[in-house]
Amino acid sequence: MFTLTVRDHIMIAHSLPDPFFGPAQRLHGATYEVETTWARPVLDEHGVVMDIGMASGLLGQVLDGLRHRNLDEHPDFAGRLSTTEVIAQHVGERLAAAAAGIEGLERLTVTLRENPDAWASYTLELPVLGGGSGRG
């Protein structure tokens, strides 16, 4: 399996209003390093998993909807706690939808790093389309 990883970062605000989260129940800020790893078993005809610029662009587009936002007020998180894991799932599902036409990709993992010692990931299997270019 071949992989390509690109990363970006976001700054958000949110609260986790459940006693389980202790002081994080209150509104607070978080900066996440967001790492995405795309996987395919066979390289495309250009010898790559996918174009790095395309992978970075897709990630940036998805993250733009979260940057400098209070997730407590974001409609996609209504009725849900915006835990690191839930944010990773949100990013992963949107990236998978954005990359739906890219052939040959099988898996996507999104990792959110809150600090060098703590991170959470979400992995999803992608519907496999042919063995095309990965160039969009």
Classify 12 as helix, strand or coil. strand
Domains of the chain: 2-125 (3.30.479.10)
Name the average pLDDT for the chain: 94
Look up the pTM and report it: 0.91
CA distance 101 to 105: 10
Which residues have CB under 8 Å from 61's CB, separation 6+? 98
Is the model's pLDDT at 69 over the cut of 80? yes
pLDDT in tens, 22-56: 999 999 999 999 999 999 999 999 999 999 999 99
